[in-house]
Amino acid sequence: MSFASTLQTLRKEAGLTQEQLASKFGVSAQAVSKWENGSFPEGDLIPKIADCFGVSIDYLYGRERKKVSLEQEVVDALTRIGKETSGLQSSQSGDFWKLYMEQMHKLLWAFHIGAWSENQYYYDRPRSDEKNGELDSVLLSSYGYSFMRLNKDHEYYVFLRQPDCEEGFLKWADNMGKCVPVLQILSDPESARVLLYIYTLNNHEFVGVDTVAKETGVAKEKVEKTLETIGSQIGDRSHPLHTVSIVKGSGKEEKAYGINMSIGGLLIGVIALLDSYTNASQNYALQINDRSESWIKKMPK
């Protein structure tokens, strides 16, 4: 981008006319017009023009990108992945999603090591395997909590922002009673087997009770009860399962069940969190604790 086109773009983005810009530097509107058509200002005006628009002199001459927010830099970096993989961002573009998710994970790790005041440089996250035990990274402060599990084939990230309301995290406990059916299913080995089998289905696949009973070895009555609980008692607006009615030749209807793919990852996340909570690691790649107050404020009597 030339000096002329850069100046014109900056002026228009700032909502200034040529006359208004000229008045800032004590020159005529004709002078500004000439600058935007290929001529150059006096040398002592160049730094003033750069300061006026909050850019560097190199940027004015097209030798540097305009400074943007950190968030925009992240978006730009992630967008480049799509361009580097021919812009195919569909589910069939395995290369795109593999690279995209890996870049996301690197950024999440960067958030952790960036909070370590003694560190100034990015380095790849360490990863452990099963024989070496669990490996975690934790940040906790009065403003939030972040946890990373760094085991190979068992990596995930959690971020909790401290609520602004007076109740703090206690506010999140308002709906705990509605979570009971999920915990009951996960705590029962047979019901949990039924639930996990359902999650072997692909999107738009449905399965009947008889098939679930056969594949899981769970009694048909138990399967029916479990699926009915998952499909109707869990969730007020959106349930974990989709149901359809199949009409047999006899005219009798039978229910078939499929998964709500959009929230399926939440179940996997719940299982991962429960595992980490009940089998807490003692190995930390990074642990920063700047939280002195309790997690939950004292409950009113």
Q: What are the tens digits of pLDDT across the range 21-77?
A: 999 999 999 999 999 999 999 888 999 999 998 888 888 888 877 677 888 888 888
Cα 179 from Cα 138, distance rounded (Å): 26
Q: Do residues 194 and 223 touch, judged by C-beta distance below 8 A?
A: yes
SS3 content of the chain, % helix, strand, coil (to 5): 50, 15, 35
Q: What is the CATH number of domain 172-267?
A: 1.10.10.10
Cα 176 from Cα 200, distance rounded (Å): 27
CA-closest candidate to residue 153, choices 127, 116, 118? 127
- Going 210 to 215 to 218 to 224, the CA torsion angle's sign is negative
Cα 10 from Cα 73, distance rounded (Å): 20
pLDDT digits (tens, 9 = 90+) for 147-190: 999 998 899 999 999 999 888 888 888 888 888 889 999 999 99
pLDDT category at 86 given cuts 50, 70, 90 is low
Q: Which fold has domain 3-60?
A: 434 Repressor (Amino-terminal Domain) (1.10.260)
Look-up of token digits 């100034």: 120
Evaluate whether 3-60 and 172-267 have a shared fold: no
Lowest mean pLDDT among 82-96, 193-207, 283-297: 82-96
Domain boundaries in the chain?
A: 3-60, 71-163+286-290, 172-267
DSSP helix/strand/coil, 289: strand
Q: What is the pTM of this model?
A: 0.74
